[in-house]
Every structure is written in structure tokens, then in C-alpha cells.
Amino acid sequence: MTVAHTRIYWLHALTPLHVGTGQGTGFIDLPIMREKTTRWPLVPGSSVKGVLADSYQASTENRGTDHWLAAAFGRSDNGDKDKDNAGSLVFTDARMVCLSVRSLFGTFAWVASPLALERFRRDLTAAGITVSPQYCPIQSGNIHLPNETMSSLNADGKAYLEDLDFAVVNCDCARQWAGKLAEWVFPGDLIWQGLFKQRFAILPDSSFDYLCEMGTEVNARIRIDDKKKIVEQGALWYEESLPAESILAGLVWCDRVFSSDKDITEKKLLDKYCSGKRDDLQIGGKATVGKGRVRCLFTPEV
């Protein structure tokens, strides 16, 4: 079902990305946010909308004087509730499309799974975008590559990702998805499109599940006592991050404008705040240690 005035937005992690859930219950003290059912990493739509609003300087004061900011991101006038309105832009959570995984050959791979791609296809349909690649089941132990002779991951018919090894299968479905994803994530950049196609792969759902759980980045952090110059008591913790180069996608739409300004329309709001690309956004925690730098770009509705 196509939803009017809907676009795909992409998050491409340039550095490790930590959107946390607070205190963890396992050995990881600061885990990242995950979907309840799939356990795949995600970035909440509220985080994306908040960061985008901040990048447009949508402060409380500015929203009170700028009708466009107020319509897009909402406004709260503490003194007069009649002037309050919700934001017209609606962001879904950004979900996994391609996880970046360490590879013995080719340095790293962008891996997807049949289920991840089918869920993404559903979002594409909502945005009015039709893609030809169909569902492609994969046998356990196999990996589907766009072009085994051109792939950087292929080593004599085998591919080695983290501690897993797979038998290489040349796949037309993988070729079509690699071409489409490269075009959407790296528009106009032929170098990066080529690098993506050389490192794209589709894994069995079970292998993708495993890598989403075990293939994330986990770092030990400590705090040093200023006087003794040793680790303070209890000041050792482990924090998790989504690996750099991972790619997520979500939907953004505008089906109603909460503004009395008749010049503001759904399409104009999307064109103003949800078009092109942004290379300067920071999402999640640990910003002072370089985490969370992302490219955010939008694929317009057709």
C-alpha cells in the first residue's frame, strides 16, 4: 500500500553508532537499542527527528517565531495551549538493511538477509518505489554474491565473515539488490557504488541474526583516578556500538499540516526538511569520543 507524501530516509554510520537503552542486564553494561522480536539493532525515529530538528536550529524560541519549524517539528507554548501543535513530519524507526561485518577477504562486507530485504521492500512499497528483486531463499552455509568473479569477498568459492565460512553462490537477485542499494545510498558517487557492489552479500536469515547479535562492536571503558593514576573502583564498563559503515533505513511522511499558514503544504515540508543528504549529523551517545557520525539522505517518493 502506497502512503501519500512518503519518502525513504537512510542512515549510513561513518563511525560506530551507540543509541543505547541505559543499563544492561548482561555482561554489556551499555547495550544498543534492538527490536524486541528480531533482536536486530535499530535507531528510534524520535532520535532521528530530534537530531534533524536540532540541525535546523528548531529551538523552542525559533519554533515560536518560525511557522515552518513549528509545522515540521511541533511547538509547545507554555503560556497558551491554543498555540501548541504536534509536528507534521512522522519518522519511523530506522531498521537494519546492511550490517557491516569483518571479512577475511575484502576487509569488510555489507550483509543483508532475505527477511531484512523483504521488510525493507514493504517500506519501499509504502513510498511508491517498486523494486524487481524478489524473495530469494538461501540454503544454510551459502552466501549469495552479486558477481562472484568481481566480489572482494570471494576466495576460491568461499567467503569468511567473522568466525563463519560460507560457500559462494552467484545470484542475480543479489546483483539487482546491490545495484539498487548502491544507487540509493551513494547517489552520484560511482567509486562508492563500485565498492558497495564488491562487498555486498545476502546471508541466510539465521546467519544474519547471529551476526546482528555477535558482530557488533564492544569496547571496554575505564575511568582513571586523578591522584593514584589507576582505574577507580567500579569504574570499568563495557559499551556496545553498531559497527561503522552499517546502513539502516526508515520512512518519513507528512499526511497533515498542523499550521494555519496556508502556504505550508505536506510536499513543501518534505522538500524543505527531508530532501538531499546531510553529512554532518551526530546520533546517539558518546559524541565526545567520536561515536554517532552519520550520513543521512532521503530518497524522494516517486
Q: What are the backbone angles phi and psi of residue 65, rounded to the nearest 5°?
A: -115, -20
Helices (H) and strands (E) in the chain, counts: 8, 14
pLDDT of residue 302: 63
pLDDT at 85: 81
Whether residue 16 contacts residue 217, with contact meaning beta carbons closer than 8 Å, is answered with yes
Nearest CA to 263 out of 61, 63, 67 is that of: 67
What pLDDT does 226 receive? Answer: 77
pLDDT value for 231: 73
Question: pLDDT at position 77, please?
Answer: 66
Whether the Cβ atoms of residue 18 and residue 32 lie closer than 8 Å to each other: yes
**pLDDT given for residue 122 in this prediction:** 92
Q: Give the pLDDT of residue 25.
A: 60
How far is residue 116's CA from residue 247's CA, in Å, rounded to a whole number? Answer: 12
What is the model's pLDDT at position 28?
Answer: 81
What pLDDT is recorded for position 65?
85
Overall pTM > 0.85: yes
Q: CB within 8 A of 219, min separation 6: which ones? A: 238, 239, 241
- What pLDDT, on a 0 to 100 scale, did the predictor assign at position 158? 96
Report pLDDT for 219: 87
**Comparing C-alpha atoms, which of 282, 287, 298, 289 is closest to residue 13?**
282
The angle at the Cα of 253, spanning 83 to 73, to the nearest 5 degrees, equals 30
Which residues, listed in sequence order, are joined to residue 240 by a DSSP beta bridge? Answer: 218
Which stretches of the chain score pLDDT less than 70?
1-3, 23-26, 77-82, 132, 230, 234, 302
